[in-house]
Amino acid sequence: MQGKTNPITPAGYAALKARYDHLLGTERPEIVEIVSWAAGNGDRSENGDYLYGRKRMREIDRELGHLSRRMKAARVITPEDQPDKSRAFFGATVTLADEDDNEKVVVLVGDDEQDASAGRIGWSSPLARALKGAAVGDLRTVRLPSGNKEWEVIAIDYA
């Protein structure tokens, strides 16, 4: 996703920043302290604290780099500021019904904050792509691995 902007809600950006700050300000200093203590104990090749600490520090540094790139590419979009609230765009809470009248409520959020079990679907997911620009009453077909599924937009909210 290099070179592209990454739409994200203010809450999603705050969660990314909190994770970054926690890793940088809490976890990494603790690991650095353990590694330097373990390094002072002599033979590093058999020192579990040293080996684990170095491995964990690489994981933290890799995650910090990833979070930093994601935050730099992030474009914070406040859903309530959407000019056309009659259509489904980023940040919308959309109520859908399938052919059997089973209702499903989804929130269109950034890919970094998606959580399907909580009904938050990523902006680049197949369902979100199908819903972009939909109005109440529109039928949208989503291509899923199990085949095509048709959804009707019942309600759109930007609360």
CA distances from residue 41 to 28, 37, 153 in whole angstroms, order as listed = 20, 7, 64
Token pair, residue 81, equals: 């500021």
Q: How much is the pLDDT for 2? A: 44
Integer Cα distance of 26 and 22 in angstroms: 5
Q: How much is the pLDDT for 1? A: 39
**pLDDT one-digit tens code per residue, 10-24:** 999 999 999 999 999
Q: How much is the pLDDT for 46? A: 79
Q: How much is the pLDDT for 65? A: 97
**Pairing mode, strands 103-109 and 120-122:** parallel
Q: How much is the pLDDT for 4? A: 65
Residues of the chain above pLDDT 90, percent: 72
Q: How much is the pLDDT for 24? A: 96
Ranges of residues in the chain with a pLDDT under 70 are 1-4
Integer Cα distance of 147 and 14 in angstroms: 36
CA distances from residue 8 to 95, 101, 104 in whole angstroms, order as listed = 21, 31, 22
Q: How much is the pLDDT for 3? A: 47
